[in-house]
Amino acid sequence: MLVAPSILSADFGNLARDIKAICDAGCDLVHIDVMDGHYVPNLTIGPVVVEPVSKVATKPLDIHLMVENNNFFVDLFAPLKPKYLSFHIESEKHPHRLIQKIRSLGICPAITLNPHTRVEDIEYLLEDLDMVLLMSVNPGFGGQKFIPTVLEKAKKLKDLINKRNPACLIEVDGGVSDKNIYELKNAGVDVVVAGSYIFGSDDYTKAIKSLQI
Ligand SMILES: O=C(CO)[C@H](O)[C@H](O)COP(=O)(O)O
Ligand SMILES: [Co+2]
């Protein structure tokens, strides 16, 4: 299991320090939550902040867009060369076109599904995707309760992935901890995002290791 700590739960007054700390503690990816205050009722950070603080990151960036104007934000964040750039299927009229654009910029395209969205909705996009991000909370805030129906969704998605594109990864984001990590693993999940669990612990190395099963 790969682990991507969400910096939403980091100390925003010491963001570079916290990004360095999770990289030193052995995380696999650095998850950056980008919220525009329109698509979700919260506002976070743009490239003006992410670019300087991510200079200390020794692990690849995993950027999660929660925005209305995906095209605009893809253009804003592409120069930072994240490994993964994901956008919400629910906020995009032309997901297939946007996936091709992200790929043409040298970035691995990923798509995100809210808790209510059926995995079948993205079946015909799977061949073009490197990762699917399943939300296990409603997007917008850290520290929420895990929605367990994501486990059934992950299993269904795994079947579709095995049929269409076995190389595509499944990522789960929201309410992840050592309490649900084994169920997530059994459901076929490859990558977990964890914010409050990791940043709320007093030993980042131990917390990250407890999820790298
Ligand atoms: O995308 C997100 C919220 O929209 C965050 O990545 C997610 O909530 C992680 O935080 P936590 O592990 O505390 O739930
Ligand atoms: Co996220």
DSSP state of 42: -
Nearest to 58 by CA among 20, 18, 15, 85: 20
Mutation pick for ligand 1 pocket among 36, 65, 193 (CB with most ligand atoms within 8 Å): 193
**pTM of the full structure:** 0.98
Per the DSSP assignment, residues forming a β-bridge with 183 are none
The pair phi, psi for residue 139, each rounded to 5°, is: -65, 150
Q: Which residues line ligand 1 (CB under 6 A)?
A: 6, 8-9, 31, 33, 64, 66, 137, 139-144, 173-176, 193-197
pLDDT bracket for residue 122 (50, 70, 90): very high
> Is 54 annotated for ligand binding?
no
SS3 112: strand
- Average pLDDT for the chain: 98
Measured between alpha carbons, how far is 25 from 79 in angstroms, rounded to an integer? 26
pLDDT of residue 88: 99
Angle at 142 between CA 88 and CA 137, to 5 degrees: 50
Judge contact between 113 and 119, C-beta under 8 A.
yes
pLDDT of residue 183: 98
pLDDT of residue 55: 96
184-213 pLDDT, tens digit per residue, is 999 999 999 999 999 999 999 999 999 999
pLDDT of residue 105: 98
Judge: domain 2-211, CATH 3.30.1700.10. no
